[in-house]
Structure 1
Amino acid sequence: MANADGHRMIAEYLAAYDRQLRGDVELAGAHDTASLGPLRVAVFPGGQGFIGYQHLGGADADGVRGLVDAALAHFASLPGIRSIEWKTRAHDHAPGLHDALIACGFVPEDAESIMIGEASLLVQEVALPDGVTLRRARSDDEVIAMERMHGIVFGHREWHARADEMIRRLAEDESMELWTAVVDDEVVSAGRLEPVVGTEFAGLWGGATLPQWRGRGIYRALTAQRAMAALAGGKTYLQSDSTEFSRPILARAGLVKVSTTTPYVWTSPVC
């Protein structure tokens, strides 16, 4: 792809991302929402506060600090707030935001790459190793097996609780699809597809593969399968926030990096 065409494509993807995946759409599932100037703030179950926006209204450093102070004051007025996430993006005009957040007690977590690709371009034939089959997880037992694998890969001792939460979400959201790669009824790789209502996007999340099965095309096959499912559901784009572990895999599957996102998290001293 010519360099100019590549830059144009990234700009188009990023514009679609900012327009469709930021703001109110990030607050789905929240039980309390409010607007503070350009900010959209919300409280999710468990006392998890969240701050999102499409832009900061052209604020200078003093204005940005004022927005941070206003957001903290808002959450301070609400009972039971245990943590607050301010989701930053590297391509935003946000002078002084890092310093303002640090000064107010927020701690940056690891940056992740914002990866986007056209679903139609990610549909490809991928040869699977002998004995590996792709399967959509629908039953409770299949979800439990998937989350057990996630627990092994990520070292999550609480994978049972994660399985219960995923079973609940699957029952409430019929559009979400869980896809697994299975060998002799053992899940060796998995990922989920989450269509975003009212947008052209579906999200790729929860990707993981057991170490002994990596580098054999299994996760690329799962990505292609989810791309086909997204197209069947009328979606144009696939998007994922990726760690440096998963970014190269998604890049090989056809997604491109358009920016980075870094969550800054404030935690209540009583937590």
Structure 2
Amino acid sequence: MSASSSSDILARFEKLVRRRAVSSDPAWRMESGEGFLRALGPSPSPFDNSLCWAHTDEENVEAVIAAQMAYFRSLGRAFMWKVYTQDSPSDLETRLLRAGFEVQAHVTLVVLDTARSQPATALPPGVEIRRVDDATGLAAAMKVQEVVWSQDCQWLHDALKEELRTQPDTLSIFVGWSEGRPVCSSWIRIEEGAPFASLWGGSVLPDFRGRGFYRAMVAARAEVARQRDIAHLYVEAGDMSRPILERLGFQALSQVAKCIYRPPGVA
């Protein structure tokens, strides 16, 4: 991917994904004003509330930070502010930390041209990756997530169940099975009206890593995107998944700091 094509894709991502002021999910409300876009979800969690984008510069940044903190504090909600490499000013992350935010994670925004063919992945005998859309399949997907992340994923189960019910055309969940046992899971979300789809949840049980499961899940989801004429897949990749994704043809577009603000008394 050339520098010019990377900048073009990033510009489209900014316009069509990050600054997209609509949500097809009735549980979410988008709020826009002069120079900002917010998303409010069904709970006070910072994973359900975010400042999607804000116009900040050297002159207004402190006022914007204070205004957004005050707004979410008035609602009794925590929220996430994702800081991208291209955001201004260059020390925005430092300013957020000074204001009381904490960094939940540093990730890399990587993107794949879906026209690029994926290398064949030979899975061991008795193994298959398949799409699930029923209660049994969703439970299997969440069982993997709970083991990998060592946490209760009931909230995620409930959210994905509702999303499957209300938006079955934009969400596809995959589970990998080895001799009838769920060993990996992941999902893909289609961005309606945009040439992008996002990959989420790619998790493999520790004993089954290094056998091609992760690559096979990427290939399965890439095929969903190609069938829908989606030009680009994107992932917020952590340190473990980024090398695998880059070997599959994903290219880094931006570094992202996930900054969280929790008002006093909000978990």
* Offset, 1:219: 1.4
Distance 1:213 1:160 in 2: 24
In angstroms, what is the RMSD of aligned CA positions? 2.1
1:159 and 1:75 map into 2 onto residues whose CA distance is 25
State yes or no: 1:41 paired with 2:38: yes
Q: Is the 8 A contact 2:83 2:256 kept in 1?
A: yes
1:84 corresponds to which residue? 79
Q: SS at the partner of 1:8?
A: helix
Question: Which amino acid is the alignment partner of residue 19 of structure 2?
Answer: G
Distance verdict in 2 for CA 1:160–1:67, change over 3 Å: closer
| 1:167 alignment counterpart | 161
Alpha-carbon distance in structure 2 between the residues aligned to 1:201 and 1:172: 20
**Correspondent of 2:17 among 15, 21, 25:** 21
Matched residues in 1 for 2:156 and 2:29: separation? 24
Aligned counterparts of 2:223 and 2:28: Cα–Cα separation in 1: 33
1:72-127 CA-to-partner distances (Å, cap 9, x unmatched) read 2333443xx23021111012222442343223211122211101011121434221
Of the three residues 178, 187, 194, the one matched with 1:192 is 187
Within 2, Cα distance between the matches of 1:25 and 1:229? 25
Letter in 2 for 1:178: I
Q: CA deviation at 1:177?
A: 0.5
Match of 2:52 in 1: 52
Q: Which moved more, 1:235-244 or 1:158-167?
A: 158-167
CA distance in 1, matches of 2:150, 2:262: 23
Please, which moves more after superposition, 21-30 or 258-267? 21-30
Please tell me the residue identity of whatever aligns with 2:41: F
**Residues matched between the structures, number:** 261
Instruction: State whether residues 122 and 227 of structure 1, in contact with CA within 8 Å, keep that contact through their aligned partners in structure 2.
Output: no
Could you say if the C-alpha distance between residues 96 and 159 of structure 1 is closer, same or farther in structure 2, counting changes exceeding 3 Å?
closer
CA contact 1:200–1:236 (8 Å) conserved in 2: yes
Amino acid at match of 1:140: A
> Percent identity between the aligned chains?
24
Give the Cα–Cα distance (whole angstroms) in 1 for the partners of residues 249 and 125 of structure 2: 24
1:223 aligns with 2:222: no
Gaps of 5+ in 1: none
Distance 1:25 1:230 in 2: 22
In structure 2, the partner of 1:9 is 5
Structure 1 residue 26, shift from structure 2 partner: 7.6
Asked whether the equivalents of residues 113 and 258 of structure 1 are also in contact (C-alpha less than 8 Å), the reply is yes
Partner residue, 1:139: 134
**Is 1:108 aligned to 2:103, yes or no?**
yes
Letter in 2 for 1:6: S
SS of corresponding position for 1:120:
coil
Unaligned 5+ runs, structure 2: none
Partners of 1:143 and 1:214 in 2: how far apart?
21
Q: Assess, with a 3 A threshold, how the Cα gap between structure 1 residues 241 and 26 changes in structure 2: closer, same or farther.
A: farther
TM-score by length of 1: 0.88
Equivalent AA in structure 2 for residue 10 of structure 1: S
1:123 touches 1:225 (CA, 8 Å); kept in 2?
A: no
Supply the distance in 1 between the matched residues of 2:196 and 2:31 (Cα, whole angstroms): 25
Structure 2: how far apart are the matches of 1:15 and 1:165?
30
Task: Name the counterpart of 2:261.
Answer: 266
Name the aligned partner's letter for residue 111 of structure 1.
Answer: H
Indicate the SS of the match to 1:234.
coil
Could you tell me whether the CA contact under 8 Å between 1:177 and 1:193 is conserved in 2? yes
The answer to whether the 8 Å contact 1:56/1:94 transfers is no
Q: Which residue of 1 aligns with 2:148?
A: 153
Q: State how far apart, in whole Å, the 2-side matches of 1:133 and 1:91 are.
A: 40
Structure 1 residue identity aligned to 2:61 = V
Q: Any conservation in 2 of the 1:87–1:261 contact (CA below 8 Å)?
A: yes
- Code of the aligned partner of 1:98: E
| Aligned-partner SS, 1:227 | helix
CA–CA separation in structure 2 for the residues paired with 1:238 and 1:93: 25
Aligned residues of 2:93 and 2:257 also touching (Cα < 8 A): no
Q: Does the Cα contact within 8 Å between 1:65 and 1:97 map onto a contact in 2?
A: no
